[in-house]
Structure 1
């Protein structure tokens, strides 16, 4: 069992009562996690640009329901390892990290829950290692099997004269130059831009496109923070990225073609284990990936239920924690015993 560690001194927000910070060794380095409760393991994987802290509302709720709730910092984030090579952030490495965490915690299997990029990581973890990850809950980003042309080719064709944000993130240093001078302000604008209560009047998705010669932040809304994001929450996220820098997080985007090549053996493969999907009505991911949702009977044959939260944006488990907790714990309780 890994030893507990003291939370970083720079942290400005409390750890949920009863939870512990740990560092565990995995084949690719170390992973920082926060753990609470006992029972069957539930591993939670965050997205961009977040950290373990995006699960702060779920840790105590899942622990109280009788589970061992664990939220990790994905490699490149927080106190987890930050390798320098771009290719070290490929999906195969992130799946291996998750397997390593399960084993480091003395477990053989886990249910995996992911949001945003974490949804992709959770789905691929369950797809590649169904012996370890026996069920998957996917938040905000729908599941879509590997297929089609190279992802960078697809994304290059989106947006007309404007540049899709995934394409904008490809060149090392480009997005960093926009973010680094004001990490706190950039994060606040990005969170607000795709939150259900503060996104721009232009509607869902306008933030994701960069005008010619512009920056992503040119589309950030002006006005108040989202209701779910306190000053202390923003301080925590900003403190993490000011300490680590954004490159590790951005390198996930820079591996989409490498992932497409690495996962060729799983082309079109369905995710057959028990699954759950929760999305926000105002999240542009649902509009862009509507065909993926329609294909769930084929691609997610083990889907137990799918839920779209009215008026909610992208940050579902932070915007609607009580509702997400109810859906997650109800789904967990209905899973076959392991």
Structure 2
């Protein structure tokens, strides 16, 4: 797929409850808001922005608060899910729109789903990549994660204490990111039966299990430079604070326990992605939790970073779904 020149993209800073949100947009037409995951930025959608624009949409990829050029509040609890929902609403309003389709990947999928759940008046369709929808409720997240892995520590638990993961990552941001991307991508992830990079051995670090000296096919030197440059400038604390609010989210979203998403929806997952495998029960529950699911695809042989590993397929499936979604044109 030809890669759009950065000069084709329009960068904006818009006001939000965070202070400001940076976004990159292309095209005109109905608004599609694109929300990235960890540890990425708006740049994760670089392949899809021109495709959506060519299909007649106004595509806007944002930096979630704590990332890139968006504001980075100091308080840990400033990164709770409801705050991120309000950022998304503010972006739609700042762009002069009353509603949008929202599409997210990884953490962005959960942010997108919660935005659609809490503000259905603004978000009239929702696309989820890599992480399926699971309604709020159930056991407290910290208790679930603490019970995973036996003597090893699940990465979400490892991320909880401020400063701990930062001390691992920030001395070598570029190397850590390259290893993290490789660990979750098809072609470079550890072979079945190898130590799982989602878990930390006692006294170890997460990067101990990253593939050594291997870069995913989708990740060019330039791409890695872009990501590393952003995180070397901002640090990782804002991004990691998202993980440090999961119990707060559990309390905040208690009124929505068990609630389905009634909007038209899409799900894309990779068959080699741990998120897809771990949450297979959530995918099986889609007839109940996503009653208006109109497009669902598991991409054979794909890992976690779908829109970068499989840019053409992701773009085609997104635009096909959007065309089928009933939204005004003009």
Q: What is the TM-score normalised by the length of structure 1?
A: 0.95
SS of 1:206's equivalent in the other structure is: coil
Q: Is the 8 A contact 1:194 1:205 kept in 2?
A: no
Q: Report the number of matched residues.
A: 326
SS of 2:269's equivalent in the other structure is: strand
Please show how residues 280-319 of structure 1 align to structure 2 within 5 Å.
Answer: 280-319=270-309
Q: Does residue 1:257 correspond to 2:247, yes or no?
A: yes
The answer for unaligned runs of 5 or more in structure 1 is 1-12
SS of 1:108's equivalent in the other structure is: coil
Q: Distance in 1 between matches of 2:228 and 2:83?
A: 26
Q: Is the 8 A contact 2:266 2:293 kept in 1?
A: yes
Which residue number corresponds to residue 9 of structure 1? none
Q: Is the 8 A contact 2:269 2:306 kept in 1?
A: yes
SS of 2:149's equivalent in the other structure is: coil
Which residue number corresponds to residue 170 of structure 2? 180
* 1:125 corresponds to which of 104, 115, 139: 115
Q: Does residue 1:53 correspond to 2:53, yes or no?
A: no
Q: Distance in 1 between matches of 2:226 and 2:17?
A: 28
Q: Tell me which stretches of 4 or more aligned residues in structure 1 moved more than 4 Å.
A: none
Q: Is the 8 A contact 1:200 1:221 kept in 2?
A: yes
Q: Does residue 1:26 correspond to 2:20, yes or no?
A: no
SS of 2:268's equivalent in the other structure is: strand
Please show how residues 9-88 of structure 1 align to structure 2 within 5 Å.
Answer: 16-88=6-78
Q: Does residue 1:94 correspond to 2:101, yes or no?
A: no
Write out per-residue CA displacement over residues 202-232 of structure 1, whole angstroms, 9 at most, x where no aligned residue.
3698110000110000010123210000000
Q: Distance in 2 between matches of 1:196 and 1:36?
A: 29
The answer for unaligned runs of 5 or more in structure 2 is none
> What's the RMSD between the two structures over aligned residues?
1.3
SS of 2:150's equivalent in the other structure is: coil
Which residue number corresponds to residue 270 of structure 1? 260
